[in-house]
A and B are shown apart, each in its own frame.
Chain A
Amino acid sequence: MRDDSSANKKSHMPENSLMFEKVVPVLLILLGALTIALILFAAAVLLGVLHL
């Protein structure tokens, strides 16, 4: 017999978790900002604004 409450816990985020409440959103923002910075850098090189 399957333990539904245990299964449900594992497929949902734990409540009051520092990892999911704080760390993950900060990482998403930081990684998103780095992605945009790299895209802007590449665009600057392609457009000739920045010379390698």
Chain B
Amino acid sequence: MSVIEILPFISTVIMLIFTVDVFKRYLVRRAPHFLFWGIGLAMFGLGSFAEAYLALSWSRAVLVIWFLFGAILNPAWIGMGTLYLLVRKRWVHVVSGILILASLVSTVLMLSASINDNGFHLGTPISQQYQAIISTASLNLLLIPTILFGTTGLILLVGGALYSAFLFWRKRVLPNRVIGNVLIAAGALSVGSASELTHLGYGQLLYVGELVAAVLMYIGFRFAAQPQPDEAPQAVVAAAAD
């Protein structure tokens, strides 16, 4: 196993801790943004787990999990959480309904993809060989949801984090949330850039991008969630949300 193939194991552990942390907050507050963040982060973690698994053994089902959750769905679900946080309007529920429907369509597309089991070579990261395993016709079909989900997630998550950071920075308040949101945006951009480079044939950078994203986003989330000394106890829990 190469050094690069060890990285998904670390990413998986970090994402597991991150996901549990977010779901715990959802159980306390019952706010939909925590639910969507939690689901999106769990998908991210599943993608990392699949990469780790495929470094040890071949499984068609795990490849489907990797592509569906790791490459297609997770950015939009995390971004949906940010939309729920920033916009408290009814139309957001409609958007989440569209997301769920589009996710189901993508799942059907992924399950019907043509996969060549013999194309897999143990010892090569899946991000560098998936184009030889999934047929070109299927990849071309899956490229549309991959780009749409990825770009939507990028706009919502990074845009939302940068917007929040800018607002706090302009008001000169809550420096922890400024730093936290900048770290979240940087982490999301790290994996976003690595994903696009993977499409261009530089798959060896994906695992590094994911690990950097997992670390930066979790630190950013913890930073933004830090209680402020002048906040009431109730608002301390709410701090994680903004």
The interface of chain A, by Cβ under 8 A from chain B, is 2, 4, 6-8, 10-14, 20, 24-25, 27-28, 31-32, 34-35, 38-39, 41-43, 45-46, 52
- Across chains A and B, which 6 residue pairs bring their CB atoms closest together, nearest first? A7-B229, A7-B230, A42-B151, A11-B228, A13-B172, A13-B175
Contact between chains at A38 and B193 (CB < 8 Å): yes
Q: Is the interface of A mostly helix, strand, loop or mixed?
A: helix
A24 to B185: give the CA distance in the assembly, Å. 12
A9 to B24: give the CA distance in the assembly, Å. 30
Q: Provide the residues of chain A in CB contact with B144, threshold 8 Å.
A: 46
Q: Provide the residues of chain B in CB contact with A4, threshold 8 Å.
A: 230
Q: Provide the residues of chain B in CB contact with A20, threshold 8 Å.
A: 169, 172, 175, 178
Contact between chains at B169 and A24 (CB < 8 Å): yes
Q: Provide the residues of chain B in CB contact with A34, threshold 8 Å.
A: 189, 193
Judged by a CB distance under 8 angstroms, whether B3 is at the interface is no
Contact between chains at B158 and A35 (CB < 8 Å): yes
Q: Provide the residues of chain A in CB contact with B174, threshold 8 Å.
A: 11
A24 to B174: give the CA distance in the assembly, Å. 13
A12 to B166: give the CA distance in the assembly, Å. 14
Contact between chains at B229 and A6 (CB < 8 Å): yes
Q: How many residues of B contact A (CB 8 A)?
A: 33
Give the residue of A13, A38, A43 whose beta carbon is less than 8 angstroms from that of B173.
A13
Q: Provide the residues of chain B in CB contact with A13, threshold 8 Å.
A: 169, 172-173, 175, 178
Contacting residues of chain B (144-196) with chain A, CB-CB under 8 angstroms? 144, 147-148, 150-151, 154-155, 158-159, 162, 165-166, 169, 172-175, 178-179, 182, 185-186, 189, 192-193, 196
Contact between chains at A35 and B159 (CB < 8 Å): yes
Give the residue of A8, A32, A45, A46 whose beta carbon is less than 8 angstroms from that of B230.
A8
Judged by a CB distance under 8 angstroms, whether B200 is at the interface is yes
Contact between chains at B228 and A10 (CB < 8 Å): yes
Q: Provide the residues of chain A in CB contact with B192, threshold 8 Å.
A: 38
Contact between chains at A31 and B155 (CB < 8 Å): no
Q: Provide the residues of chain B in CB contact with A11, threshold 8 Å.
A: 173-174, 228-231
A16 to B143: give the CA distance in the assembly, Å. 48
Contact between chains at A10 and B229 (CB < 8 Å): yes
Give the interface centre of A6, A28, A42, A45 by most chain B CB atoms within 10 Å.
A42
Q: Given the known inter-chain contacts A8-B230, A11-B173, A13-B175, please indicate yes or no for A28 contacting B186, CB distance below 8 A.
A: no
Judged by a CB distance under 8 angstroms, whether B30 is at the interface is no
